Amino acid sequence: MKPRLPLLVLALLPGIGAAADLTGTWRSEFNSQIGLQRYTYELRQDGTALTGRATSEVDAQRRESELREGRVEGDTVTFVELLDFQGNALRIRYRGALTNGELRLVREVGDFAREEIVARRAGAGEASPGGAEGAAPRPGPRRGFGGPIELGPDDKPAFPPVPEGFDRSRDGIPNGTLEMVEYDSRTVGNRRRALVYTPPGYTADRRYPVLYLLHGIGGDEEEWRRGGRPNVILDNLLADGQGVPMVVVMPNGRAQPDDRPGPNPMATAPAFARFERDLLDDLIPFIESKYSVRADREHRALAGLSMGGGQSLNFGLGNPDTFAWVGGFSSAPNTRPPAELVPDPAEARRRLKLLFLSCGNRDGLIRISQGVHAYLKEHEVPHVWHVDEHAHDFEHWRKALYHFSRLVFRDGNP
């Protein structure tokens, strides 16, 4: 038997001397921080140059991207995928080798994510639909940032479903206004932008409460407008006699001179922590000088999505003299450990008007919010814990904003 082994190995190797041609369709399925991804790579090799396109599906979303800077040298394969991810241009680097007819690649999204993937030629060794060959990994539970999702009995909706059309613009109702403003930041040493919603009929004859609404790691001051339609959600709520007219401020939560997310948003995480000073020392005073707003803790709220959810919990709960209403939607790992967030449960119980936590049950970050909820429950700090069927996406965040906005600034809540 033994003498046959080398022959078998040779038979599996690509032709020696004649470099293998990677031209063709390759598929790969792998778990990643944002869930199971299904990729199809259309490659075209011309000498040592490699070009092509990729189609990827994650969580029923389909994306197309271009492959650039591709090289095949010896058995080493490198290329870059340019992916438009929620409006941000991401560079995904691939490096690896063709081994036994399979492309074994390391896929890196900046320092943000690193996966070892295997791509196989379409048709070759693929599980037939419904087939039980076991070639493709089973979807399994969605993996999040660092762990599988485990749901407990408390992880369920706190509210009935949102009304149909809650985030669709409606005819015949009054509309609020969105405007981009700039403020001087002593913290960052430059002028920074924030998008401001004023409610329909906004007038200097009244003073409004203010919600500061924060974006995620790949976002900026436009992210909520781009993906969240906050003005539409608020206009609709008000037209339905729900919620309180409020000013909503959507700043850039990355307090550094270049506040774009860039190709490696994760590298900007320290600037998200630094934003606490910009918010408290620069942005809030600016908003309170420019708009007709109430300037006390009971008329300031802080909420945000993901990285901005972590910021909201950290800064909101950490500054109880400034904020009485706090919301974290799908809060990210930048969230402080619960015992640091709420070191004095009695004070939180006494002073907080609303502490709102929400997450989708298909979001790999849910363990962060589950941990905060468990701590609050154990220490009897009243809070909302709302879990719906979504993932780490704007489906969840639009609905979370709806629910939060219905409750905020209303004593006794609904």
Q: Does 332 bind ligand FER (CB under 6 A)?
A: yes
**Residue in 239, 269, 273, 295 binding ligand FER, rule: CB under 6 A:** 269
Cβ count near 174 (within 10 Å): 10
Q: Does 217 bind ligand FER (CB under 6 A)?
A: yes
Q: Does 83 bind ligand FER (CB under 6 A)?
A: no
**Minimum distance from residue 326 beta carbon to ligand FER (Å):** 17
**Minimum distance from residue 35 beta carbon to ligand FER (Å):** 13
Q: Does 253 bind ligand FER (CB under 6 A)?
A: no
**Minimum distance from residue 151 beta carbon to ligand FER (Å):** 20
Give whichever of 320 and 371 is closer to ligand FER, judged by the CB atom: 371
Q: How many residues interact with ligand FER (rule CB under 6 A)?
A: 9
Give whichever of 355 and 359 is closer to ligand FER, judged by the CB atom: 359
Give whichever of 307 and 324 is closer to ligand FER, judged by the CB atom: 307
**Residue in 231, 252, 334, 370 binding ligand FER, rule: CB under 6 A:** 334
The amino acid that residue 38 corresponds to is R
Instruction: Enumerate residues 6+ apart whose C-beta is below 8 A from 397.
Output: 227, 228, 305, 329, 330
Helix 307-318 to helix 366-378 angle, to the nearest 10 degrees? Answer: 30
Q: Does 149 bind ligand FER (CB under 6 A)?
A: no
Q: Which stretch binds ligand FER (CB under 6 A): 13-21, 292-300, 332-340, 343-351?
A: 332-340
Q: Does 252 bind ligand FER (CB under 6 A)?
A: no
Cβ count near 3 (within 10 Å): 6
Burial of residue 14, with CB atoms counted within 10 A of its CB: 0-12 exposed, 13-18 middle, 19 or more buried: middle
SS3 content of the chain, % helix, strand, coil (to 5): 25, 35, 40
**Minimum distance from residue 393 beta carbon to ligand FER (Å):** 9
Evaluated on CA atoms 298, 302, 303, 306, the torsion sign reads negative
Q: Does 341 bind ligand FER (CB under 6 A)?
A: no
Q: How far apart are CA 141 and CA 358, in angstroms?
A: 20
Q: How far apart are CA 9 and CA 13, in angstroms?
A: 6
Give whichever of 216 and 230 is closer to ligand FER, judged by the CB atom: 216
DSSP secondary structure letters along 198-267: E-TT--TTS-B-EEEEE--TT--TTHHHHHH-HHHHHHHHHHTT-S---EEEEE----SSS-S--S-GGG
Q: Does 145 bind ligand FER (CB under 6 A)?
A: yes
The length of the chain is: 414
Give the residues across from 305 on adjacent strands: 329
Q: Which stretch binds ligand FER (CB under 6 A): 204-212, 240-248, 329-337, 380-388?
A: 329-337
Give whichever of 306 and 358 is closer to ligand FER, judged by the CB atom: 306
Give whichever of 110 and 333 is closer to ligand FER, judged by the CB atom: 333
- For the segment 283-322, give every residue that binds ligand FER (CB under 6 A): 306-307
Give whichever of 98 and 307 is closer to ligand FER, judged by the CB atom: 307
Evaluated on CA atoms 195, 62, 64, 217, the torsion sign reads positive
**Minimum distance from residue 275 beta carbon to ligand FER (Å):** 13
Instruction: Enumerate residues 6+ apart whose C-beta is below 8 A from 22.
Output: 43, 45, 50, 72, 77, 98, 103
Give whichever of 250 and 332 is closer to ligand FER, judged by the CB atom: 332
Q: How far apart are CA 188 and CA 190, in angstroms?
A: 6
Q: Does 333 bind ligand FER (CB under 6 A)?
A: yes
Q: How far apart are CA 316 and CA 337, in angstroms?
A: 14
Q: Which stretch binds ligand FER (CB under 6 A): 37-45, 128-136, 164-172, 330-338?
A: 330-338
End-to-end CA distance of the chain: 77
Residue ranges binding ligand FER (CB under 6 A): 145, 216-217, 269, 306-307, 332-334
